[in-house]
Chain A
Amino acid sequence: METKIQTGLVNNEAQIKSVPKKKVKYKSLLTYAAFVGPALLFFLVIQILPFLMGVYYSFTSWNGVSSVVEWVGIENYKQIFSDDKTFFNSFMFTTKFMFAAVIISNLIGFSFALLLNAALKTRNILRTVFFIPNVIGGLLLGFIWQFIFVKGFASIGNITDIGFFKMPWLGDEKTAFWGIVIVFAWQISGYMMVIYVAALQGVDSSLLEAARIDGASSWTLLTKIIIPLILPAFTICFFLTISMAFKIFDLNISLTGGGPFNSTQSVAINIYQEAFQNNRYGLGTAKSILFFVVVAIFTTVQVRLTKKKEVEA
């Protein structure tokens, strides 16, 4: 008898406990959903769903207008690889541009940072000046520089008679390429400078003093101590500039519009035109998926490489 009662009690107790426990769990799940749900919902509908749809549409002949979306397999990809010279050219242009832009803007940004790290009296003003172009959007910057290249450079050339300013900047394939690099560097260097300055301030100055007392030159100080210590900043800056340069659109479209003769057409512009001007949405999405793959590869390879260097250093 006694045991029976006891087991009954135990059972009862377990029941009593389990009901609120379930309720608590349910309630905490609900609060989790209330806190995380909105962010997740917007993110899924605006980014993930279109991304997945893009993967699907890249295998179709979707034109954006007709309701019939025909499955064409890898036809779009085949066409891109076998007979789309403009796309190939824009890929080549974008890759070349990326290398030039990344190297130059980081070189300038890092030099600015070293300059500001010296005890200059004008350092605050200079920091502001170098950073200002960065707050202006790429589109307006492109228009500003279109004027500088077309009219400003010409009049400086007339005054100074320096050949550099007398070139047909945006009218020629080679100089148009460098024109975009110059404007990109003008925009981004200040941004990179800010990151490098923050990193340089974290370098222990007693370490540098000690090395200097040991007779190290400024150059050894820079290459053997400072740069290895701030490698994480290089990882960030390279990551940022690579992805910004590779995805260039605004600045490109307002400065050269892809010309002359499509020679400076970035991949982003090519995709935009394929979809929204030629109305070939299927082909456009196929290109955009390839674009995604390349961007993902570039950025992960770069982060891996520099991270590896960080560990070694």
Chain B
Amino acid sequence: MGNQYTKKTFVLEIVGIIVGLIFLIPFYFVLINSIKPFAAILIDAAAWPKEFKFSNYAKVWNVINFPRAFWNSLVITVMSNIGLVVISSMAAWKMVRTPGKFSKILFIIFVSAMVIPFQTVMIPLMKIGGTLGLTNSLPGLIIMYFGFGVPITLFLYHGFVKTVPVEIEESAMIDGCSQFGVFWRIVFPLLKPITITVIILNTLWIWNDYLLPLLVLQDPELRTIPLAASSFFAQYTKQWDMGLAALVLGITPIIIFFLFLQKHIIKGIASGSIK
């Protein structure tokens, strides 16, 4: 719509900036109060801090063992992503390239499972997880993410593979390339755009997930960032000086991730949801 900068656009610009500032107010409150002493928060939460007190951060860093929680979240997110990309892209490619009733039914089952709420699965899953030794372990949790992430990941790959021309694969196959060779050397690089989308969507989900890790991981050493934050709040209720520092620490990694990759993320979110 209209490229010229009119008076109306100017008014819209002002409206946009005001709404944007309102949107950011919660972050302002959290940031400024995280460096105040407790008494100052109680007196006036809106005021600019008189002194900067970073000892809140130092304390919280140790109490929640932030490096440990960060490491756990990172390992879970990265490993789950790698596994999901590998198993789902392979399955999606093979299913698209082997048309037939079986592939079709399989696809429908995968897709319809997306409607099942997590709460419907979680209670028996904890029993199965206990039997298979998946509980209270990071690899166990990662395997569970494989299971929960497959439907959406496979669905996205499935849609994308259909747009990849089959001729290149056929000529490579004639040249004596094995199926695995064809897939990993020729097809997989072509899937890069959707792989980026898939990784972004799964990272945002797994990094922020709370309930599954809560059920699976009991050992404090294994806590992810959301788990560490929630157990911290359960212990230090209403101690806002430390609580806010914990929140800032908790949201910083994912916000940095977003700011660095925002172009890809916004594009990925849009294309991931439209399909």
Contact = CB atoms under 8 A, between A and B. Distances in A.
A307 interface: no
Contacts of A296: 115
B208 A137 contact: yes
A288 B119 contact: yes
Contacts of A46: 121, 125, 143-144, 146-148
B120 A51 contact: yes
Given A45-B147, A140-B250, A147-B30, A35 B2 contact: no
A51 B123 CA distance: 9
A35 B93 contact: yes
Q: How large is the interface on A (under 10, 10 to 19, 20 to 34, 35 or more residues)?
A: 35 or more
A145 B27 CA distance: 10
B120 A125 contact: no
Nearest to B2: A119
A120 interface: yes
Interface in B84-107: 86-88, 90-91, 93-95, 98, 106
Contacts of A191: 269
B121 A135 contact: no
B137 interface: no
B125 to A, nearest CB: 4
B37 interface: no
A185 B98 CA distance: 43
Interface stretch (A16-24, A95-103, A271-279): A271-279
Interface of B: 1-5, 8-9, 12-13, 15-17, 19-20, 23-27, 29-30, 33, 41-42, 44-47, 86-88, 90-91, 93-95, 98, 106, 109-110, 113, 115-125, 127-128, 132, 143-144, 146-148, 150-151, 154, 179, 183, 204, 207-211, 215, 226, 229-230, 233, 240, 243-244, 247, 250-251, 254-255, 257-259, 262, 265-266, 269-271, 273-274
Given A46-B125, A137-B226, A299 B16 contact: no
A194 B270 contact: yes
Interface stretch (A2-10, A80-88, A149-157, A171-179): A149-157
A253 B91 CA distance: 37
A119 B15 contact: no
Interface string A103-124: 0000000001001111111110
Output the residue of A112, A133, A136, A284 with the most chain B CB within 10 A.
A136
Contacts of A295: 115, 117
A12 interface: no
Report whether over half of chain B's contact residues are helix, strand or loop; otherwise say mixed: helix
B262 A198 contact: no
Contact of B208 (A32, A138, A268): A138
B175 to A, nearest CB: 17
B121 to A, nearest CB: 4
A194 B269 contact: yes
A36 interface: yes
B254 A136 contact: yes
B124 A54 contact: yes
A285 interface: yes
A49 interface: yes
B124 A152 contact: no
B127 A128 contact: no
A229 interface: no
Nearest to A156: B46
Contacts of A186: 23, 26
A272 B121 CA distance: 11
Given A54-B123, A118-B12, A43 B273 contact: no
A39 B85 CA distance: 10
Given A39-B150, A143-B233, A144-B26, A195 B121 contact: no
Given A122-B17, A140-B250, A54 B121 contact: yes
